[in-house]
């Protein structure tokens, strides 16, 4: 069986302020680093992992680096294909700013946002490639909320009609004999000691 543990990056200041990030390269804030240390500690105490891959955006990369240091293993690959959805002109804006600039129907405008089906397609292709290249291995993948959610919806549409991923949550995918299942979704039990979060 091939196992892929998908971790959403730690929180950033833009997350906290509800500013659209997309592919903007926003770093973790101090809370995000504590969250990353907490998931790293959890992963070190559970079943061992064989390799780590990550989005190349700094918030994911730094989360992966904190995990990799704790697990005493290198990051095998930084890959643009598992970046967050590109949000075009709305990157760097809050909902209030979008309403002021483009009006209530801003979602219907062409503001250069990447199509969700394209995000799902690249996420799905990446997951399947990981499973093909590393059969029987346990792989950690550090990525972003929308990318992870859209990938899960494409891979297991009956299970995931909608998704909502917390920062540094872990979701487990397993593939055996060509079939995928998700025995763990959006688990954040490692964060209980950090409550209340900012």
pLDDT digits 0-9 by tens, 20-69 = 999 999 999 999 999 999 999 999 999 999 999 999 999 999 999 999 99
Strands (E), the chain: 2-8, 51-55, 75-79, 138-143, 170-176, 179-187
Q: H or E stretch including 110? A: none
Distance CA 149, CA 145 (A): 6
Give 196's pLDDT tier (boundaries 50, 70, 90).
low
Please report the pLDDT score of residue 193 as a whole number.
76
Residue length of the chain: 198
Residue 167 CA: distances (Å) to CA of 1, 8, 186, 190: 27, 5, 9, 11
Q: Which residues participate in the annotated binding site for substrate?
A: 8-15, 59
Establish if 106 belongs to a structural domain.
Answer: no
Whether residue 198 has pLDDT greater than 50: no
In a domain, 71, yes or no: yes
In a domain, 99, yes or no: no
| Residue range 138-193, pLDDT digits in tens | 999 999 999 999 999 999 999 999 999 999 999 999 999 989 999 999 999 999 97
What domain range includes position 37?
2-87+114-194
What Cα–Cα distance (Å) separates residue 162 from each residue in 9, 42, 150, 165, 172? 19, 26, 8, 10, 17
What's the structural domain count of the chain?
Answer: 1
Per-residue confidence (pLDDT) for residue 194, from 0 to 100: 75
Which positions are catalytic?
9, 84
**Does residue 103 lie in a domain region?**
no
CA distance 198 to 71: 27
| pLDDT per position as a tens digit, 59-95 | 999 999 999 999 999 999 999 999 999 999 999 999 9
Residue 93 lies in a domain: no
Residue 197 has pLDDT above 60, yes or no: no
CATH assignment at residue 19:
3.40.50.1240
SS3 168: coil
% the chain with pLDDT above 70: 98
What SS3 string covers 7-30?
EECCCEHHHHHCCCCCCCCCCECH
């Amino acid at each position: 069986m091939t196992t892929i543990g998908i971790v959403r990056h730690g929180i950033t200041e833009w997350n906290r302020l509800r500013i659209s990030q997309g592919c903007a390269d926003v770093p973790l804030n101090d809370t995000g680093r504590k969250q990353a240390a907490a998931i790293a500690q959890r992963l070190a105490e559970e079943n061992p992992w064989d390799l780590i891959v990550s989005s190349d955006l700094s918030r994911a990369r730094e989360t992966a680096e904190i995990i990799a240091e704790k697990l005493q293993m290198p990051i095998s690959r930084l890959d643009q294909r598992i970046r967050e959805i590109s949000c075009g002109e709305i990157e760097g804006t809050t909902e209030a700013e979008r309403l002021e600039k483009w009006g209530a129907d801003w979602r219907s405008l062409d503001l250069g946002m990447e199509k969700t089906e394209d995000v799902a397609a690249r996420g799905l292709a990446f997951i399947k490639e990981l499973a093909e290249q590393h059969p029987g291995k346990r792989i950690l993948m550090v990525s972003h909320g929308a990318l992870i959610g859209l990938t899960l919806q494409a891979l297991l549409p009956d299970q995931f009609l909608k998704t909502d991923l917390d920062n540094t949550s872990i979701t487990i995918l397993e593939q055996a004999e060509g079939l995928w299942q998700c025995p763990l979704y959006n688990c954040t039990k490692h964060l209980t000691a950090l409550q209340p979060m900012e």
